[in-house]
Structure 1
Amino acid sequence: MNRLILTATLLALASPALADGDPEKGEKVFRKCQACHAVGEGASNKVGPELNGIVGRPAGSIGDFKYSSGMQEAAAGGLVWTPEHIAEFLTKPKDFVKGTKMTFAGLRKDDEREDVIAYLSTFK
């Protein structure tokens, strides 16, 4: 029981830096992503996988989506989409996951990444 409390406390303290984002602003920034990704009720895969529940999800785990070899390797290596990993990926996807088929150049502004992560966090 003490381990459970300790784990919950550590998880709560681990991500406040990226929890500062604004979901409403993130929704606007996410428009850059909508050509390839969907979120919300009824979301389905497009060119990229649907992103409901992405925060905390293991990489490459949407069963009916064909991931690039680079993303498959990252998944096999244990990549989990924590807010920190999402932020790194969104900075420059091709640098974070070599061989990804995501062609998006990235979000250069810290606040845009934080806002998108806050927005994505609202979809379970």
Structure 2
Amino acid sequence: MDLTFNKVAGAVLATGLALVGLRELANGVFAVHEVEKPGYAIAVAEETEGGAAAELPPDWGTVLPAADVAAGQAVFAKCTSCHVVAAGAPHGTGPNLYGVVGRKPGGAPGFAFSPAFADYAGQHPVWTWEELDAFLKAPQKHIPGTKMTFVGLKKQEDRINMLAYLAQQGGTLAVPPPNPAAAAAPAAEGEAAAAAEGAAPAEGGAAAPAAEGAAAPAAGEAPAAGAAAPKAAAPAGAH
């Protein structure tokens, strides 16, 4: 009788140990992790610069006279934590920007510019509209190594308005004559290329005449653009 009881008890104990062992083994193989937040993770592709539409250079002779100077002053408010724009005022974290439009990069006496900025100044004798626009759009990209950590003004309208405001604060750079054809040419080329690319899969060899037809108006404007080009390009030659 005692042996039978011992056998039964041993069997029950062995079964229990086996079940516990199997459970621990299963937990080790099929681990369950608590999620921090309920829901499902959805992968979203990041937008890249290559996928964005190319930004056309503005026709400064057209956009600056029509710019909203008051809006530009409001945009400049983002910069006042580091910069002042007043004649004779001391520098802040960044240089005094009075007269920056048209002066030499790094040409603020008494301010310690970074070596990267000094190198840039050695290659660019004056702040032109194009250079200021590119720098304000992405300072770190335009002058790698600059101490200016501001991310930049991504909207072209904001940059145009702010440059119009800064030009009134001691600026010496002349506004070039209007030359809308210079800004329209890249647009016409882009439209012609898009039309050719879009027609190629469906029409095959018929895409070439379509592209030529789209480019014809731009070619017809070439004499007018050529006549205005020397005047509009004058500030850029100061690079």
Query: What band does the TM-score fall into relative to the shorter chain?
Result: 0.7 to 0.9
Q: Residue 93 of structure 1 aligns to which amino acid in structure 2?
A: P
Give the structure-1-normalised TM-score: 0.83
Counterparts in 2 of 1:36-55, with a 5 A limit? 36-55=82-101
Which residue does 1:98 correspond to in 2? 144
100-109 or 39-48, larger mean C-alpha shift: 39-48
The 8 Å contact of residues 52 and 123 in structure 1, kept in 2 or not, is answered as yes
User: C-alpha distance in 1, partners of 2:120/2:62?
Assistant: 24
Deviations 1:35-83 (A, max 9, x none): 0110124432111100011111110111200001110000111242112
Work out whether 1:81 is the aligned partner of 2:161. no
Identity of aligned residues (%): 38
Which residue does 2:107 correspond to in 1? 61
30-39 or 73-82, larger mean C-alpha shift: 73-82
Work out which of the residue numbers 61, 66, 86 in structure 2 matches 1:16. 61
Which residue does 1:7 correspond to in 2? none
List, as ranges, runs of 4+ consecutive aligned residues in structure 1 with deviation greater than 4 Å.
Answer: none
Q: Residue 78 of structure 2 aligns to which amino acid in structure 1?
A: K
Q: Residue 151 of structure 2 aligns to which amino acid in structure 1?
A: A
User: C-alpha distance in 1, partners of 2:81/2:149?
Assistant: 12
Deviations 1:4-51 (A, max 9, x none): xxxxxxxxxx84145142211001000100001101244321111000
Work out which of the residue numbers 25, 28, 32 in structure 1 matches 2:78. 32
Q: CA RMSD in A?
A: 1.5
Give the structure-2-normalised TM-score: 0.44
Shift of 1:97: 0.6
The 8 Å contact of residues 38 and 46 in structure 1, kept in 2 or not, is answered as yes
Work out which of the residue numbers 140, 149, 164 in structure 2 matches 1:118. 164
User: C-alpha distance in 1, partners of 2:99/2:114?
Assistant: 20
Residue ranges of structure 1 left out of the alignment (5+ in a row): 1-13
Q: Could you say which structure has the greater relative contact order, defined with CA pairs below 8 angstroms and 6 or more residues apart?
A: 1
Which residue does 1:6 correspond to in 2? none
* Higher Rg: 2
The 8 Å contact of residues 25 and 115 in structure 1, kept in 2 or not, is answered as yes
User: C-alpha distance in 2, partners of 1:102/1:17?
Assistant: 30
